[in-house]
Structure 1
């Protein structure tokens, strides 16, 4: 789960991380009022969407010459900048061509920057540890730095058994090329960021830039924070920060039924149990010349209701021209799934080809139930057979 920049900064401030003062605004009037509460005379008006590259982004509704989603503004310019951003669609390198509508702003005080750095804490799945990534090239896309000057990125991991130590802080300061008081500030800030990472069960805390101001202070000027969704049960306060308008409506709907769902750009809907099997199913559809319309994992304990809701999600996509169900029944019995498929097909008034491949517990009973359903369900013997059949059925129906 991701949160907005202003939420991330408010959260990190509670852990003692140095954050410049800022105020969230949901209207032009609130933005103007926020600027009056800040020292000024220069402010930063920042569009709040779950995507990077806001400063270089463009608004669909504004001329191509218009400024992006992060703007410097004097007091009399804050209202104009807010009016141009709120309610309009910002397109960045991370949003795709559709962009995201800006519904929130963050007004911060202007900061005189002497130097910018990059600092992040991430989950390193290869080592099973938290990784700290530091670079002297702050303010830039870290992907560009990694491609052009990878030697300017330093990465080290923290042993979960011992946690953060003074030597880690010294490594951060050295990676950023800092000494003296700034090195001490870097060590302190990094330690607090790590504490926040562990304390909130975060999956990512990215600071870009971490800046040195003209008066020698180290400040977090931008923060991107995401959390492990599996740990949110321990953090009801963090769940309250979720902004559903930033998420795909279908994925939000899927989460209500504990379905793992991601919409894709193809025409063949997939209903599978198990993430690995779902990935293999999408691959074999592509291998047979078609494209999956979604990733959908119903999990190991799906019942009729869950399968019905899964069908509804798939069919809500007008691009879907056929559905492939691929179920391996271990904990999940094939006869129960077959009954769920039939009930779902009847309830949603299925109007596209449906191919079902069942394997595992009670598979023969499951196939018999499907065969006697009276519905035009095509049964497949294995995954390869299922993929070939759904592609052929979709072409036949076209």
Structure 2
């Protein structure tokens, strides 16, 4: 996030220099914009949506941190704001202010146009903060980014940092990759920057379920360690080991698409690459101090209270600390009943009906490839219905240009189709792609059989992008297919208040209440490692308030299995004392009959802990995570 990336000493160059390859000239592309990530104290920054509430709050804090904000853009406005010029367009801002980077602080439905305007103006670095930008808008933007070599996108949904500071370690640069399904910058892009960066002595990598980015990073790290005699130490955290299968865990992109690796696979890959993996953000400080000491890279003479040492590079795929934003719901995807999915196919003229029990079923889907930042065809010849993605292969295509009909032959070959059925495949592919784009789907998965030279769909698993309706009111007809009666009533109740609540199966007895999806997943995982059993995942959102804390308690208390509630709050924009007062409010108004363990770290943490400790209620205040977790487990098991 821009306000956290002010500790470097080098400015960003506005244009990318062409490289001399002798007689061989390579066409420049998006890969050449990676160097634009090198921002520092001299980086000239503008804010889009500058005069809005969100941008104003963040700009004030950024200016206090020392960010070189030179002005901003608000459509249709000229003048001054926070003592900085305001211009009506990004193109005009580029001419007059010559920024190196822009922070986009507008609502999700406005963000795509703002990003495109910045690309057209050739701003070197574009940081998009909004969460829940419709995924089809983002795929279109990535299609545009691939055609140019001037602008680099970070995000969408991209803030960051905070545990190494307590260990006396500073940060050379922090990059919030973004919590949405498709990020503009990935781990490997960032690792390339820091391999030869003199300011960076060690690297912290924070990832979670969803996509292949961490696996790709592990492969890169393996190669890096082979070619370097004294590699920089790397520590990592992967959230979601205990994530509910098939569920979106708070962040827009925090879920596993069919065929993607789970959290344990990512952890194993990183460990095999020589990365030290921790299970909670609090442990990064000690881990990195040990690694830096043993590597000989640690600087001397720093402490948490004195002048902070630089040298830690932090990059995360999702933020622990959210930005100041209000959204009606953090739900991301809409899954519809199979019979309704088959109806949609029939409306497209596709032969579709329920499986009769005969015929070899194979899988064909249209979905999103996170690594390629594009849509793709997914095909599998496997006939085992329990594992339709066995032997699956992806065929990527450009979002704007569509799928090349010539490639249908390769899909048919992979599916092992009979010659008589190959001519029917393009119709099915085109029908699925048309539905995918027009109805803004996340994944359309079908099972089909061959019937007398034709392809008949006999199974459908369709998921659509919920953000398209919630942020822009598009796809109202698809949203109307949602069946609330198929969902958990407590989860629906929480959703109405912007809270993401997922009730876990099993005998979990610790209710969790956390601000931030990444931290919520880490809390569940770390409790499990310590011998505890979480009953739920609950993310209040990054900007938790006293009221959302109270409503979160109400939802958790409906679960009779819960014997103790563990509140784990990291305060950034969220104030520790406000959260403490929210806990007291809930405790009194809801007539709590079970104990509550509260861990508050961050802004106003001491005041928050004091309020809890002096309340006289059955509340237990801690600042150390492991101590708080141990107390919660003790209380849960003794009830």
Q: Relative to 1, partners in 2 of residues 1:71 and 1:193: Cα closer, same or farther, differing over 3 Å?
A: closer
Counterpart position of 1:6: 339
Deviation string for 1:217-241 (max 9, x for gaps)?
A: 3222221111233333222211211
Alpha-carbon separation, structure 2, partners of 1:127 and 1:390: 43
> What TM-score, normalized to structure 1?
0.69
Counterpart position of 2:363: 118
Counterpart position of 1:230: 467
* Structure with greater strand percent: 1
Q: 1:115, CA displacement in angstroms?
A: 5.5
Counterpart position of 2:387: 143
1:1-398 to structure 2, matched below 5 A, reads 1-19=334-352, 116-138=361-383, 140-141=384-385, 143=387, 146=390, 150=391, 153-160=392-399, 162-178=401-417, 182-208=421-447, 210-214=448-452, 216-233=453-470, 234-264=474-504, 265=506, 266-396=508-638, 398=639
Q: 1:114, CA displacement in angstroms?
A: 6.3
Q: Is the 8 A contact 1:172 1:187 kept in 2?
A: no
Q: 1:379, CA displacement in angstroms?
A: 0.5
Q: Which moved more, 1:191-200 or 1:168-177?
A: 168-177
Secondary structure at the counterpart of residue 387 of structure 2: helix
Alpha-carbon separation, structure 1, partners of 2:352 and 2:520: 42
Secondary structure at the counterpart of residue 345 of structure 1: helix
Alpha-carbon separation, structure 1, partners of 2:451 and 2:410: 22
Q: 1:341, CA displacement in angstroms?
A: 1.1
Query: Structure 1 runs of 4+ off > 6 angstroms?
Result: none
Q: Is the 8 A contact 1:356 1:380 kept in 2?
A: yes
Deviation string for 1:51-74 (max 9, x for gaps)?
A: xxxxxxxxxxxxxxxxxxx778xx
Alpha-carbon separation, structure 2, partners of 1:334 and 1:71: 59
Deviation string for 1:313-348 (max 9, x for gaps)?
A: 111111101011001111211122111111111122
Q: Which moved more, 1:116-125 or 1:300-309?
A: 116-125
Q: Is the 8 A contact 1:172 1:190 kept in 2?
A: no
Q: 1:133, CA displacement in angstroms?
A: 2.0
Q: Relative to 1, partners in 2 of residues 1:378 and 1:231: Cα closer, same or farther, differing over 3 Å?
A: same
Q: 1:273, CA displacement in angstroms?
A: 0.8
Q: 1:381, CA displacement in angstroms?
A: 1.4
Q: 1:190, CA displacement in angstroms?
A: 0.5
- In structure 2, runs of 5+ residues without a counterpart are 1-333
Q: Is the 8 A contact 2:362 2:388 kept in 1?
A: no
Deviation string for 1:107-163 (max 9, x for gaps)?
A: xxxxxx76643212233334333332223344x3252772xxx3xx33322233543
Alpha-carbon separation, structure 1, partners of 2:374 and 2:382: 24
Alpha-carbon separation, structure 2, partners of 1:181 and 1:188: 14
Q: Is the 8 A contact 1:380 1:389 kept in 2?
A: no
Q: Relative to 1, partners in 2 of residues 1:389 and 1:175: Cα closer, same or farther, differing over 3 Å?
A: same
Q: Relative to 1, partners in 2 of residues 1:17 and 1:248: Cα closer, same or farther, differing over 3 Å?
A: same
Alpha-carbon separation, structure 2, partners of 1:362 and 1:301: 14
Alpha-carbon separation, structure 1, partners of 2:564 and 2:361: 51
Secondary structure at the counterpart of residue 350 of structure 1: coil
Alpha-carbon separation, structure 2, partners of 1:294 and 1:359: 22
Q: Relative to 1, partners in 2 of residues 1:392 and 1:205: Cα closer, same or farther, differing over 3 Å?
A: same
Q: 1:295, CA displacement in angstroms?
A: 0.5
User: RMSD of the TM alignment (CA)?
Assistant: 2.4
Q: 1:16, CA displacement in angstroms?
A: 3.8
Secondary structure at the counterpart of residue 317 of structure 1: coil
Q: Is the 8 A contact 2:566 2:632 kept in 1?
A: yes
Q: 1:391, CA displacement in angstroms?
A: 1.5
Alpha-carbon separation, structure 2, partners of 1:167 and 1:383: 56
Q: 1:257, CA displacement in angstroms?
A: 1.4
Alpha-carbon separation, structure 1, partners of 2:454 and 2:517: 46
Q: 1:172, CA displacement in angstroms?
A: 2.1
Q: Is the 8 A contact 2:363 2:388 kept in 1?
A: no
Secondary structure at the counterpart of residue 373 of structure 1: coil
Alpha-carbon separation, structure 2, partners of 1:144 and 1:191: 21
Q: 1:277, CA displacement in angstroms?
A: 0.6
Deviation string for 1:297-326 (max 9, x for gaps)?
A: 000122222211110111111110101100
Q: Relative to 1, partners in 2 of residues 1:367 and 1:169: Cα closer, same or farther, differing over 3 Å?
A: same
Secondary structure at the counterpart of residue 320 of structure 1: coil
Secondary structure at the counterpart of residue 522 of structure 2: helix
